[in-house]
Structures are given as structure tokens and as C-alpha cells.
Amino acid sequence: MQTTQDAAPNQPAKVARRGRPIPRLSGGLPLVGHLVPFVRTAVQLLERARAECGDVAAFDVGPKKMVLLTGPAASEAFFRASDDVLNPSEAYKMMVPVFGKDVVYDAPPAKMAEQFGMLLPCLQDRRMRSYGEVIAAEVERSLESWGDEGVLDMYEYTKVLTNFTSSTCLIGKDFREDMTDEFARVYSDLERGITPLAYLNAHLPIPSFRNRDKARVRLVEMITHMIKERRRTERESDDFLNVLMNTKYKSGAALSEHEITGMLLAAMFAGHHTSAVTAAWMMLELTRKPDLYGRVRDEVFGVYGPDGAVTYPSLREVPVTEACVKETLRLHPPLFMLLRVAMRDWEYDGYFIAKGTNLIVSPTVTHLIPEVFADPTRFDPDRFGPGREEDKQPFAFQAFGGGSHKCLGNAFAMLQIKTVFAILMRRFTFSSYGDPLEPDFHGVVLGPKQPCRVRYRRILPREAERFTTGARERGAKAAPGGVSSAAKTPPATAATAVAGQCPFTAAPSPEAGSDGGAR
Amino acid sequence: MRIVVDEQLCKGHGVCMGEAPEVFSVTRKGELTVLQPRPGAALRAQVEAAVKYCPTGALSIEPGE
């Protein structure tokens, strides 16, 4: 992965053997470049690189030559490049100690494609249709211990919840039922080994990496035990673990227990924290925006009533909720950078990018470009609505990446979070506890800094009836179960109508207005 | 109308098949076949739903025969 040039830091022209010199980020130190800020505060570093240099920015992190590409056009070039030009495997070596050798990103390209292909059936539409009910049941179950009112840390809650939902849907019911405290502990050790530092050297002799390696060994043991148990009892079940146990490579070889564990972990990691942070951010944003909170609640009561079942087709009827999920993903994309390594010399927009360069696309940075998303720091779900549709610009909204490596779980994630809100908003009323809302920059999935508490109060049956009647009078439609019609309801109407209905809207928040008036 | 598939973006989720089974077929391996590249007007609503809900944005409709 060594680069071919030997440019000293801060020497602009050296990178460009041909073509224009790539603007370089200032402030790099000799030898280490921007190593320290990259490890400590990578997001700010990337933001500064964009601000200083524009769409294409170069900097060094230790021996690695980095080029940051931001904005839809540069991102599109990145996402559309084929694997033999810009390769993700090289860049995600940091995940090898977690997923295991020869699994997904560490496997040769053809094998990696085969392995991802094995994951696909679990995320295809036909399976997805049953997930809504599974997730809804998990959410209801999670609420059993809540009592009538209280305070909870939203991120702590969504982490536990999505651990259960992802494992039930993707791995299997028995796995979820057998999930012990030990599993949670081991899993968390594994997670803590994923930091920007691991990107530079995933095998440093530090405690978090040692714990990560121990955790993986233990997980292989646990999953191996489970596989043996299934083989012994000849129990057939319709889940991912079963698919993996019975799938064979084209060569005819079965997957080893080591590989199965790695694939399960890849599925868990992809679907767990990313969904957990999104659900947490969304609730924290909504409790700070009473108008918007009221619109979402109106929508779910209007569609489902107090006790209606959350089904796959009905989840199409919640455009306000959906826009809020999307806006949450825009403002708080779980992954702040996506990586590739240039396998050969490459060129973008007249800039020469040498073989071996590490390329970064940053959803966090691109989502905050004002020419792309108007008034970008504002939480404004109506930007996706009729007439604005800011997400329709190709490769502008990139929370799920793009191109051939775009997140396979995109639809699953949207389904999951909409389901969570369709239940939560009808069972309890949430309000802000007042903890400051800011990202925790530790780790590679950016969640809210804890504590991030909310207050909750149970919605009593009479109140639920009142919310339903109110919502339906205001025009939110009952679930027709057929093709979407509610999607055509202009969200603005609901917003204006509901202001003042929510117990927390004594002073409607100006930032939650629906007319984009701040611009 | 004519259906256009961006092969680079299609990942084989099969949402289109769920929406318009007469028009799209997707295998468990994720291989898409467009059964009717120029579906009749009666299928328009279904095809539009397929385009709208495609998780990778790989589908579009072009006007004309």
C-alpha cells in the first residue's frame, strides 16, 4: 500500500506528476502529517480539508497519502469506479481482526462477491415483508419493563433494541433467545477495537485490540456451539445462520465455522450500531422540535390508530416519519468516511491521483454543503418533500454510500427505524431531558454523546383515542393497506394544524417550521 | 414507457419484483430480468412504485413506445 511518490508533507506539486496539483491541507507535521487529528478528531479534520481545499483535498496520515473527495460530482467518480481501480478491500483491513481472515473484505474479490451474495437473500424484498412484524414485536417487548413514566438514555436503549432486532432478523430467533450477558460483553469488546487508530495499524499491542482479539475467539466458540447444536437436533429454521450452514461456494466447499462467524458478525456490525445511532439521533432531534414531533405522532396515529399492526405495506404510508429518518441520516450519517485504495494511477477532474493513494468520501462533510442541501445544519425533513427534493441530486445523499458497494441493508434499515417510531410514538410521549446534543467522536460510528436522556410518559388509552381522532380530523389517513396515497398529502398542512396539540408545544419551535422560512 | 436499468447500481433486492411481478423477475442470487421492457399503460402504477421504492435507485422510466 506504499505510494509511489516520495513527496514531503506540504509540498503541493509533488503528488501531481501530471495534471493539476491537488490542493493540500495546511498544518501537517513532518513525517506524521495529520496523524494526530486524524485519530482524535477525524471529522473536524475532514471538514477543515473541504473548507480549505474544496472538492479534492490531499493530506498525509503518517505514511499514508490521503485524498478526500466531497460534493456529488467527486463522490460519483469515487462510487462509480470499478474495484480494479478503486478498491474497498484494501481500505477496510482494519475490520479483518473483527470479521476474521479470509472473510468479506479480506477474501479475494471473487470470494468476497460470493460471500456478499449469500447475505443478499436475507435482505431481499420477499424476506423483508416479514421483518416489520418481528421488529414491532421486539419493540413492544422492550417496553414491558418501562413503567408509566421515567427517564432513559436513548442511545443505550436503541443499542440494546437493535441488537435484538438485527440478531432476530438476520441470524435467528434461537440466537436472540439465547443471547446472554456474556454475548453482549464480548460483542462490545469487539466493537471497541474499531477505531480510526485501527485503520493505521490494527495490530498495535494496546488493551482495546487485545480484548478485541480475545472477544473474537470467544465468539467463534459460542457460534460454533450453536451450529453444532443445530446440526445435532437437525432443527430447520428460516434464518441467516441456517442459510450459511447450508450454502456452498461455487467450488462445492462448505463454509467453515470461522467463516460463518465472520459473516454473522459482518451482518451484525453493518446493521446494529448504524441503526441504533440513527434511531437515537432521530428521537433526540424530534424531542427538541415539538412541531415536528407532533407531525410524526399525528402521522402514526392517523395511519395505525391506537393499536393497528405495523405492516410492510403500511410503512409506505408514513412519509413524514420517513423524511425524518432520512433527515436524521443526512445530518448524522452513521459512517463519516468511506474508503478506497487506488489500485492504479487514477485521474479525477484533471487531478492526478497516484496508485496507492487512500481515497475518502465523507457523507458527513458532503451532507453539509450548502449548495447541495439548503441551510445544511438545520434539521428540516421537508427538504425531501415535493418541490424541493434535495435528495434527488445523484450521489448527494450518501448515508448508505453509493455505486456497486452501496449498503445492502438500506431498505432493512429504513423499515426498522420506521417500525420503531410507529410503535414508540403511540405508546409513550417523549420529551427532552436537556442533555446537550452532540456527537461522540470516539469510534467509527458516530452516535450522540452520552448521557443523552429523554423523559417518557405512557400514553393512556383515552389519550390514544384522542390522538387518533385528532390526527384523522387533521387529515392524516388511516392505513388503506394498498398503494400509497398518503405520500401525496403535503406534509406542511399537517404541521400547521398540529402545532399546539402536543403537550410540549407551548412555544412552537421556530426551527421546526415547515416552510423553510429560515432561508 | 420504457424501463431503464442502471446495471451498475442494481444489487438484486427484488423490491421491483414485489411491486410489479409481471414486469420484473429477480432470482435469489439477485439477478434481474426485465420481463416486459415496454410495459403497457395498465402497469404504469406498479412500475412507478418499483422505480420509487428501488433501494439503490437503479430503475427509471423513459417516455415513448
> Cα–Cα distance between A232 and A225 in angstroms, integer?
10
* Chain B residues lying within 8 Å of A124, measured CB to CB: 12-14, 26, 28, 30
Q: Does A344 touch chain B if contact means CB atoms closer than 8 Å?
A: no
- Chain A hits for B8, CB-CB cut-off 8 Å, are 80, 403-404
Please list the rounded mean pLDDT of every run of 10 residues in chain B (65 residues): 90 91 92 94 94 89 83
Q: Judging by beta carbons within 10 Å of its beta carbon (0-12, 13-18, 19+), is residue A208 exposed, middle or buried? A: middle
Contact A124, B28 (CB under 8 A): yes
Chain A: give the shortest CA distance to residue B52, in Å. Answer: 11
Expressed as residue numbers, the domain containing B31 is 2-62
pLDDT of A264 reads 87
Tell me the residue type at A492.
A
Domain count, chain B: 1
Residues in chain A predicted with pLDDT less than 70, given as ranges, are: 1-17, 236, 238, 476-519
Give me the pLDDT at residue A72, please.
97
Q: Which of B18, B30, B49 sits opposite A126 (nearest CB)?
A: B18
- The alpha carbon of residue B65 is apart from the nearest alpha carbon of chain A, in Å, by 25
Give me the pLDDT at residue B65, please. Answer: 63
Q: Which residues of B touch A (CB under 8 A)?
A: 8-9, 11-15, 17-18, 26, 28-30, 45, 49, 53, 55-56
What's residue A468's pLDDT?
96
Is A125 in contact with B29 (Cβ distance < 8 A)?
no
DSSP code of B4?
A: E
Cα distance between residue A137 and residue A147, in whole Å: 18
In CATH, what number is assigned to the domain containing residue B49?
Answer: 3.30.70.20
Query: Is A316 in CB contact (< 8 Å) with chain B?
Result: yes
| Per-residue pLDDT at A512 | 36
Tell me how far apart the alpha carbons of residues B44 and A76 are, in angstroms, rounded to a whole number.
30
- From chain B, the residues in CB contact with A406 under 8 A are 9, 11, 56
**Closest CB from A117, A123, A316 relative to B13:** A123
How far is the alpha carbon of B56 from chain A, nearest alpha carbon, in Å? Answer: 7
Which of B9, B15, B30 lies nearest to residue A120, judging by beta carbons?
A: B30
CA distances from A394 to A71, A277, A283, B59 (A): 10, 25, 28, 13
Provide the 3-class DSSP secondary structure of residue A493. helix
Instruction: Record the cell numbers describing residue A189, joined without a space.
Output: 469488546
Task: Please name the member of B15, B17, B28 whose beta carbon is closest to the beta carbon of A121.
Answer: B28
Question: For residues A148 and A47, what is the distance between their CA atoms, to the nearest angstrom?
Answer: 43
Q: What is the pLDDT of residues A143-175, one digit of tens each?
A: 999 999 999 999 999 998 998 888 888 777 777
Write down the pLDDT at residue A147: 94
Tell whether A124 lies on the interface with B, counting CB pairs under 8 A: yes
With CB atoms and an 8 Å threshold, state whether A124 touches B26: yes
Min Cα–Cα distance to chain A from B22, Å: 16
CB-closest option in B8, B17, B26 to A80? B8
Binary contact (B13, A121; C-beta < 8 A) = no
* CB within 8 Å: B30 and A403: no
With cell 445511532, the residue in question is: A277
Say how far apart CA A389 and CA A383 lie, in whole Å.
Answer: 6
Measured in angstroms, the CA of A8 and the nearest CA of chain B are apart by 38
User: Helix (H) and strand (E) counts for chain A?
Assistant: 21, 10
Interface test mutation site (partner A, options B56, B59, B60, max chain A beta carbons within 10 A): B56
Question: What is the 3-state secondary structure of A253-297?
Answer: CECCHHHHHHHHHHHHHHHCHHHHHHHHHHHHHHHCCHHHHHHHH
Q: Is the pTM of this model over 0.90?
A: no
